[in-house]
Amino acid sequence: MHDHQTGDALRRLAAIDLGSNSFHLLIAHHVDGQFHVIEKRSEKVQLAAGLDDNNCLTDTSMERALACLSQFAVFLKGIDSCNIRIVGTNALRNAANSETFVARSEAVLGQPIEIIAGREEARLIYLGAAHALADVHGKRLIVDIGGGSTELIIGEHFDPLALESLEMGCVTYTKRFFKDDLITEQHMRAAEREALSELANIRKNYLALGWDDPVGTSGTIKAAALVLGALQLGDGTGITRKGLMALRARLIECGRLDKVAMDGLKEDRARVFPAGIAILSAVFEALELDVIRYANGALRDGVLYDLIGRNTPQDSRQHSVETLAKRFDIDTHHAHNVATCALELFDQVRDKWQLDDESRLFLNWAARLHEVGLAISHSRFHKHGGYLIENTDLAGFSRPEQSALAFLVRAHRRKFPLKEAGVLTQNYRQRCIKIARLLRLAVVLNHARHDQPVEGFTLDSKGEELTLKLPEQATTPLLIDDLTRECVYQQEAGFTLKIVT
């Protein structure tokens, strides 16, 4: 929750993608709606290969990753925190000790790291690819084979229509299916069969939805296109089924992972290339592809475009909130009244409590969604609401942001959930506690569900102490009872709330 720069001033943005195979850094200037790349770096860290039998990142793999990040850190100097986003993907989703790694990495980078869910990764990949491609009419399929997962997205223009992240990647499959370093027909087919099994869950829906333009992004597909171009089995941009089969046969001829050497193939990709080709072959088979073309634009590009869209009408988080409200049939009129009242309370204490624009956004969203739990049950609906938001795929929200929103909905009534606040990251904890206190007041003030939001109140703060002065016309016995109970709830949590009539 940071203040954002406004206006058309030159804005420097940075994205770091902590992938399962490679770490990527992208720095660009954003000015007058245009994107100018000023630094681009990639390092093969192979984080997924550094997972031991207990699914823990080994010390060696951590040191390798931290050495890379200390190089990246130099490029982040002088860039505003609100213009930097660092995301971790499959290897960090799966590592049992990812918290240790994230803490050490944050110390090196001086910035928070988010481990994003698979579908959020797919959404950001689509955003990056869609911006890199000409705006064709019709639907496109995007395939991104990473080190630990493969994302498949069908979308039109900038809108994804289907998002999937499957547990198959070139690093993890190398460990599973080529652990003796041999490349045989049996090994390739075993990897392909496993990938086909993963793809079986989405195959029918994807084929039914259809696409006009199949596109591949990132390392494996880029390498395949380049190798086929060098072998004169393609033009360096596209992969045909025939070319892919020839490449597969050529890899089996190599016989061993350490013997894989081809024109167009970088040395540091050679070991994981056969597994990547096995996954790509399965994608061709399952989705009945004849050809796929390579295009630039991947996760790191999507992260930057998402940063640009934040706090604008294009903010994907706003769209997620609206979709959720519609899906669970929330009483939008009442939610609007609570939000109006909550934002009025916020504006009255904003300066004294040193709250920022992002905090105001989260209060608005929490007010819009505070009754989402009623879709499950009226009893304890604040708890159901918190659970739903914590466990739903919410496009655009990082895990810490989603937890913050879930906490606010959970905290809007009854006993103040201090224990749950303790789980929030340091960046969010104190602000969320303050915002929750304001949301609770807005909910109480609008308990009677009048047509119009309650007006004419004033809220003042002295440190953590709040004093609410009510207008005469709004003072009813029901409201006084509700506010007296709220004073007790806040007092039990260690806060002071005074009501003046």
Query: What domains lie within the chain, and their CATH numbers?
Result: 11-116 (3.30.420.40), 119-297 (3.30.420.150), 315-455 (1.10.3210.10)
Neighbours of 475 (CB within 10 A): 12
Q: Are 20 and 9 in contact (CB under 8 A)?
A: no
Alpha-helical (H) ranges within 396-494 are: 399-410, 418-421, 426-445, 477-492
Phi and psi at 80, nearest 5°, equal -60, 140
Q: Are 409 and 373 in contact (CB under 8 A)?
A: yes
Q: For residues 118 and 166, what is the distance between their CA atoms, to the nearest angstrom?
A: 8
Alpha-helical (H) ranges within 133-272 are: 170-177, 185-209, 219-230, 241-254
Measured at the alpha carbon of residue 44, what is the angle toward residues 42 and 47, in degrees to the nearest 5? 120
Q: What is the pLDDT of residue 35?
A: 81
**Close Cβ partners of 286 (under 8 Å, ≥ 6 residues apart):** 195, 196, 199, 200, 203
Q: Give the total residue count for the chain.
A: 501
Q: What is the pLDDT of residue 132?
A: 85
Question: For the chain, which ranges sit under pLDDT 70?
Answer: 1-9, 33, 135-136
Q: What is the pLDDT of residue 399?
A: 79
Q: What is the pLDDT of residue 80?
A: 93
Q: For residues 416 and 432, what is the distance between their CA atoms, to the nearest angstrom?
A: 12
Which tokens belong to 158? 């900038």
Neighbours of 288 (CB within 10 A): 10
Q: What is the pLDDT of residue 394?
A: 86
Query: Which pTM does this prediction carry?
Result: 0.83
CA atoms 33, 34, 38, 41: torsion sign: positive
Which tokens belong to 252? 């089996």
Q: For residues 111 and 357, what is the distance between their CA atoms, to the nearest angstrom?
A: 20
Q: For residues 123 and 153, what is the distance between their CA atoms, to the nearest angstrom?
A: 8
Q: Are 85 and 15 in contact (CB under 8 A)?
A: yes
